[in-house]
Chain A
Amino acid sequence: DIQMTQSPTSLSASVGDRVTITCRPSQNIYKYLNWYHHRPGKAPQLLIFSSSSLHTGVSSRFRGSGSGTEFTLTIDSLQPEDFATYYCQQAYTTPWTFGQGTRVEIK
Chain B
Amino acid sequence: VYLQESGPGLVKPSETLALSCSVSGDSIDGGGYYWTWVRQLPGKGLEWIGSIHSVGSIHYNPSLKSRVALSQDIAGNQFSLNLTSVTEADSALYYCTRVDAVTGAHHFDPWGQGTLVTVSS
Chain A residues near B (Cβ < 8 Å)? 1, 32, 34, 36, 42-46, 49-50, 53, 55, 87, 89, 91, 94-101
Count class of interface residues, chain B: 20 to 34
Q: Please classify the interface of chain B as helix (H, G, I), strand (E, B), loop, or mixed, using the class held by over half of its residues.
A: loop
Looking at the complex, which one of A87, A95, A99 makes contact with B62 (CB distance below 8 Å)? A95
Which residues of B are in contact with A by a Cβ distance under 8 Å? 44-48, 59, 61-63, 95, 97, 99, 103-114
> Is the CB–CB distance between A45 and B48 below 8 Å?
no
Contacts of A34 in B (CB 8 A): 105-108
**Nearest chain-B residue to A35 (Cβ)?**
B107
Query: Assuming A89-B108, A91-B104, what are 4 further A-B pairs, CB within 8 angstroms?
Result: A46-B110, A89-B107, A91-B105, A101-B46
Would B107 and A49 count as touching, CB distance under 8 A?
A: yes
State the Cβ distance, A4 to closest chain B Cβ, in Å.
Answer: 9
Q: How far is the CB of A27 from chain B (nearest CB, A)?
A: 16
Set A42, A43, A87, A91: member contacting B45, Cβ < 8 A: A87
Residue of B45, B95, B97 most packed against chain A (CB within 10 A): B45
Residue from B45, B108, B114 in contact with A99 in the complex, judged by beta carbons closer than 8 Å:
B45
Instruction: Kindly provide the distance from the CB of A65 to the nearest chain B CB, expressed in whole angstroms.
Output: 16
Taking a contact as CB atoms under 8 Å apart, the answer to whether A43 and B110 are in contact is yes
| B63 partner residues in chain A, CB cutoff 8 A | 95
Nearest neighbor of B113 in chain A, beta-carbon distance: A43
CB contacts (< 8 Å) of A45 on chain B: these are 109-111
- Given A50-B105, A91-B105, A95-B63: A44 in contact with B111 (beta carbons within 8 A): yes
